[in-house]
């Protein structure tokens, strides 16, 4: 009977490669928001910007986006466990760093900061006096945390790519 570690050895290269691709893809999505989407939303009238972001926040809850976002987080968590279990392996530091950067810097940041801000934005409507107060705060805070997600995902992709090159 094949040991579980032998199975891990067999799937590790493919899993690390898939995780690196997922991290890179998510970095690109978040980069687009930081580089121009949020800036464009800030330039349009308040009600239009809020409505557009609310629509984006509904549309993002899709199997394709959530699949990549969540499966990448799951793969990174698994890679972190493997790295700790095989700490003597010289690639372990890259697997742990890459997994941790994505899991903490992208996945957890999203859950702790960006999602609650999206939930607070959801009920606001055109003409609501709270919207005029919340929207500038939302733009600044959401974008700042999105920068963190972008950097986390990109750095994770780099670390996992180094790990893959050494596998």
The pLDDT tens digits of the residues spanning 62-110 come to 999 999 999 999 999 999 999 999 999 999 999 999 999 999 999 999 9
Mean predicted confidence (pLDDT) in 41-69: 97
pTM of the model: 0.94
- Dist CA 109 CA 152 (whole Å): 9
In a domain, 110, yes or no: yes
In a domain, 1, yes or no: no
pLDDT of residue 128: 92
Mean predicted confidence (pLDDT) in 12-30: 97
- State how many domains the chain has: 1
pLDDT of residue 3: 63
In a domain, 3, yes or no: no
Which of 116, 33, 24 is closest to 75 using CA atoms? 24
- Dist CA 132 CA 123 (whole Å): 13
In a domain, 4, yes or no: no
In a domain, 62, yes or no: yes
pLDDT grade, residue 2 (50/70/90)?
A: low
In a domain, 5, yes or no: no
Which domain, by its residues, includes 102?
A: 11-166
Taking only the tens place, the pLDDT of each residue in 122-163 is 999 988 999 999 999 999 999 999 999 999 999 999 999 999
In a domain, 30, yes or no: yes
Helix axes 129-166, 46-59, angle to 10 degrees: 40
């Amino acid at each position: 009977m094949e040991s579980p570690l032998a199975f891990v050895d067999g799937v590790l290269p493919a899993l690390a490669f898939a995780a690196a691709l997922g991290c890179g893809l998510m970095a690109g999505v978040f980069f687009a928001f930081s580089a121009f989407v949020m800036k464009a939303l800030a330039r349009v009238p308040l009600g239009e910007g809020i409505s557009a972001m609310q629509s984006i926040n509904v549309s993002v809850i899709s199997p394709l986006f959530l699949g990549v976002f969540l499966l990448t987080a799951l793969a990174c968590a698994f890679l972190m466990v493997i790295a700790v279990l095989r700490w003597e392996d010289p690639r372990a530091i890259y697997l742990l760093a890459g997994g941790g950067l994505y899991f903490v810097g992208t996945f957890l940041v999203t859950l702790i900061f960006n999602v609650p801000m999206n939930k607070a934005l959801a009920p606001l409507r055109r003409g609501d006096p709270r919207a005029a107060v919340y929207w500038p705060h939302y733009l600044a805070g959401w974008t700042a945390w999105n920068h963190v997600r972008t950097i986390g995902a990109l750095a994770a992709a780099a670390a996992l790519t180094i790990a893959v090159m050494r596998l």
